[in-house]
Structure 1
C-alpha cells in the first residue's frame, strides 16, 4: 500500500492532488487505523481481501488541465464511494495524456462495512465516469473495445498504441536512470524505485525489478533484458567504462517447440478415453507439422542427413557443457585463490609477531583465531598453486574477469545449443516413430 501511494505521490509525475477524510502524506497509516478500529468493533480480520482499491481515469491530450482533471477525479470518487470511504486523487502529467490515480480505503470511515468488488463493477464505474465527463461537456469513449475475458482495453491500447511490455518498460527505466548519472549502483537502484519500480535484491547479488502493474519480477540480466543489461554492465556504465545499453531492435521470434509424438494406441490401452484420443491426434499433427517445418528450414532431404545433424547437435551441446564446466572450475579456483591471498596478507603480520615472540603460548592464546586463518590460507594457497609461483593480485583479478566473461558467453552459447539439440532429437524421434524405426533399435541420441 505504501509503495503504491508513493508512486501516486511521486513529485516528478504529480500535477495536482486532493483528498477526502485523510491526508495523502499519511494515508497508508490512516487507512490502517480505520481498519484496526473496524477489527476491534467487529472481530473480523482486516487482512482478508483488498486493503484498498485504485481507479485510473484518463483524458484525451489537451482536453483538461491537471487541476480540472483532479476535480473530475474527486467528483467521481465522491459519487462512487458516496463520501463514506477515505480517498485521495493524484493527477499525473508525465504521460502524453493527463490521468488520475484514485486510491480509496476498502473499509468505511465509520467502520460500518467494507467495500467488496462486485460483478460488473467496471461497467458501473465506467458509466459513472462517463456521466461526470458528459456533465462537464467532455468527451467519452464511444463503443469501448473489450478483451475476450470481458475487461476493457487499456487506454493506450484503445487508441491503437500498443503499450510496451514489462521488460521493455524495465529497459527504458534503466536507461533513464543511467542518464541521470548515479554515483554508484545503490544510487541507481534508488532512481529505479523513484520511477515506480519495486526493487528486490536476492541471494548472490541477484537484482529484480517489478514494473507498476506487473505480476512477476524481472531479473536484471542479459538473458532476460538483452545485451548490456547485466549488473556488471550497469556498474561499468556508472563507472564510465562503457556507453549506455541499447534497446533491442527486433525481438527474436518465439522458439518453435517440437514435442515427441504420443503413442495413442498405448495410451488408450492404459485406459484413456475418447476425449484424450481426439486431443492426442491434434497434438500429433501439430508436432509433425513442426517437424516438417524443421526439415524444410534445414534442407534435410533424406534420413541420413537428419541423423547426422542430430548427432552433431548432441555432440556440440555436450562439448559446450564440458567446456562450461571447465571454465566454472577455473573461475572457482581463481576466486578461492584470491580469497586465500587476501586472508594470508591480513594474517601475515600476526604470524610475524608470533615468530618474533619465539612462538610464545601467551601470544598464541591471544591471537589463536588470526593464526588459524593464516595457516588455513597458506594451506589453501599451496594446494591451489600446486608448487607454481604465486601471481600478482592484478593478474588474478584480470584472469577472474576474463573467465567470468568467457563463462557468460559460453552459457549463452550452451543454452542455444541445448535448444537445438532438444529440437533435433525430438524431430528425429518423431520421424523414427513415423517410419516405425523406434521399436526396432536403440536411439543413441535420444538415450543421451
Structure 2
C-alpha cells in the first residue's frame, strides 16, 4: 500500500537535502548523526541520481538557475519540494520489489510528473522504526528551468513556462496520488485508496508525537525494570488515539444519536454538530477536535450509518425468540471449531503436493524423496481439513465451487480490462486535448493576420504548434468528437475510472487467490484419490 507525502522547504541550503539523503540523521531531532570523531556517518544502503543538473552537483545547479532567473532569493520563498513514495513492506517479499526497481520507478515518476525541474531521486531500503518499507525521496528545485507541456494538474499558463515555480495545489496532490496508485497497479504492488481518506487519519504531527512518547515510555520502563519495579504502561497512546477508542466504545452499543452523545458525556466527551459536521471536545481542551482530523469513521455520515445498523439489529433481536441453549461437551472445542470454520479459506497454508514418482524419474535423490514424503503428509492433512471444514461432501462439489470461482474471476477480469481500455482512451483524449489547448495562442494569432502572405509567414514561424494542433484535430475527427469536453470534467471522469479500476483490481486479486487455493485443493484431492487404491491393493496383496 504505497503512500505519498509532500514537504515544502524554505531552506536555501540545497546541499542539506542531499546530506539528509546520504548520511544518517536522528529521526526525532532530524540532526546528522556523528561518530566518535565528530564526522558524519554515511547511510548503509541507498541509491541516488540527479535530473536536469547538467553534470553538476544538485546544490550548485539549483543556485545557478535561481541566480539566472532571479528567483528564490527571499527568505520566505519556497526553495524546494520534497515528495516521498513509501511502498508496502510486503512488496519486497511478495511482489519482488527491490531497491534498484524502486529507484527506477522513482526516476520514471519524476521525469513524467516534474519535467523541467532539477531533481534528486534517492531510494532507501528501510523506513522509520525498521519497518522494512522501501521508499523513494524526490527533491525538486521549486524553479522550473525548461518549458514543459501542460499536465493535467496545471491550471495556469505559468505552470508550463521556464523561470516560473512549481505549485503543489490540492488538485496537484490528488493527481500525484492517483498516479502513484496507477503505478502500483501497473507494477502489481500492494496499494490503498489514497483519494478517499482513511478510517483513522494520522497526521505527520501525531505520528511523531506517538513515536517520541513511546520512546520516552520505553526509557522510563527500562529505569523501572532496573529497579525491579513493574512498568505501569507499555504502549503510549496519543490524545487522539484515546479519543478514538472512547468514541468507538460508545458507538458500538448506542442505537440513537442521543444515546451516543449521552454515552460520550459519561466519559467527559462532548459531541457537537455544526453545519453537518461533528466535533468532539475532551475535558482537557478548550477547542474541540473535528471528526475530519480523527478519520472518516468519526464523521457525521459514518456515525449515523453505524447508529442505524445498531438500531436495526436491536429491533431484530427484540423480535426473534432466544435460541435454545446448547451445552457442548467442551466450550473451548466449540469456539475452536467455529474459529476454524470462519478462517478456513483465509489461511494461506495449503500447498500443492509433490508427485514423487515423477520427481524420482527426473533423477531426484533419496533426500529429496524423504522431504517430499513428509511434505505430502502435511499437505494431505491440511487439504483434508480445509476440504471438510469448507463443507464439501464430494469431489464434484469441489469442482463446482472451483468452476464458479473461475467464472467469477473471468468476469471480474473482463470488467477490469474494459475499465482499463476506457481509461486509456480517456487519457489519450486528455493528452490530445491539453496539447490542442496549448496551441490556442498560435491559432488565435493566425486568425489575426490580415493577408495571405502574413498568414504563411506566421504559420512557418509557429510550425510546431500547428503540427500539434492538426494532429489533435485528426484524432478528434477519427474518434467522432465534434464538441471538446471540459478539462475538469474529463479529469473527474479519469479519476472516477481510476477508482473503479483500483476497486476491481483488489476484487480481482481476492478472486484469484480464492481460485488458486481451490485449484490447489482439487489437485491434492485428485492425487490422494489416485494413490489410495494403490495402497489398498498393496495391503490386500500382503494379506
With normalisation by structure 2, the TM-score equals 0.41
- TM-score normalised according to structure 1 size: 0.49
